[in-house]
Amino acid sequence: MTRTTREAPHHRNLTCVKEYRCRRPDCLKRSADYDRTRNRLVAYGRWQPFTDAEPVRQHIRMLSTYGIGWQRVCRLAEVANGCISRILYGAPHEGRGPTKRVRTTTADKILAVKPSLDHAAPSARVDGTGTRRRLQALVANGWPQMRLGHEMGIRHHRIIWDHVRQDVVSADTARRVRDLYEQLWNVDPASRGIAPRHINRAKEIAVANGWVPPAAWDDDYIDSPAATPDLGDDVDRYTAIAVDARWLMGEHGYTRAQAAHRLGITKTHLERALYARPEEAAA
């Protein structure tokens, strides 16, 4: 009697081999690697197939503040949608709340997804602070808005003006502006054929609106809503980090780990700044 082999619904984990008898070479290799790792850890007494789900849950929620939704996390981590859905919401139709434990391998995959703008879906809505500041800085350097629109493939300059004023933008727009800024922040507009009168006009607009040039922004802080431009004031880096972090934790309820992610630094670096500048506590 022959056993019928069902087609696996996907080939991202061990299910296709263990339950559907999949024989794809890459799936068999993944299963064999898992078995070898398990046997080795069991032999050393270090086999921990499950871990606490709460840190994973908090990480997923933190990623959502960067415009990386949980379904996007599924694709980036290469885990099933149902897995993350159970971590966040449980199974209400079965009367079960969010799961308390998760496979260690699954946790490692999810925690490996970092809060990067490059990971956000193109249409995801993200904070527009960095986009706004970059466009304003380029105008302050003499780049006319119409030319910036042309460089981004946008024909109508009013769209650029809208981006300058928006609090949130699409992740695709944020990435395009970021890449454009990297290309032009230290380029003289005159070297690209921009007429002096257009350069002067752009600078006049920037002055009238209080926009500052790229030199006033630290690349590590240009995206931080709490950051302020450096206009020559003598403020050391630890003080700036402490002020920004306490603002994020006080106003938005960030944990220290989440604040460190938002500021683009390690948690250890943040801890040092907070310890070194206790006098910078928010009023």
State residue 251's pLDDT score. 81
State residue 146's pLDDT score. 86
Alpha-carbon span 19 to 29, nearest angstrom: 16
pLDDT over 70, % of the chain: 86
Whether the predicted pLDDT of 134 surpasses 90: yes
Whether the predicted pLDDT of 281 surpasses 50: no
Chain segment 212-232, per-residue pLDDT in tens? 888 888 887 888 887 778 776
pLDDT band at 8 (very low <50, low <70, confident <90, very high): low
pLDDT band at 282 (very low <50, low <70, confident <90, very high): very low
Please say whether the beta carbons of 141 and 189 come within 8 A.
Answer: yes
Give me the residue spans of the domains in the chain.
50-119, 125-216
The helix/strand/coil state of 200 is helix
Alpha-carbon span 63 to 118, nearest angstrom: 12
| Helix count and strand count (H, E) for the chain | 14, 4
Longest dimension (CA), the chain: 86
DSSP state of 153: T
The helix/strand/coil state of 245 is helix
Alpha-carbon span 60 to 76, nearest angstrom: 12
User: Which residues fall within 8 angstroms of residue 196, CB to CB, at 6 or more apart?
Assistant: 190
**pTM score, two decimals?**
0.60
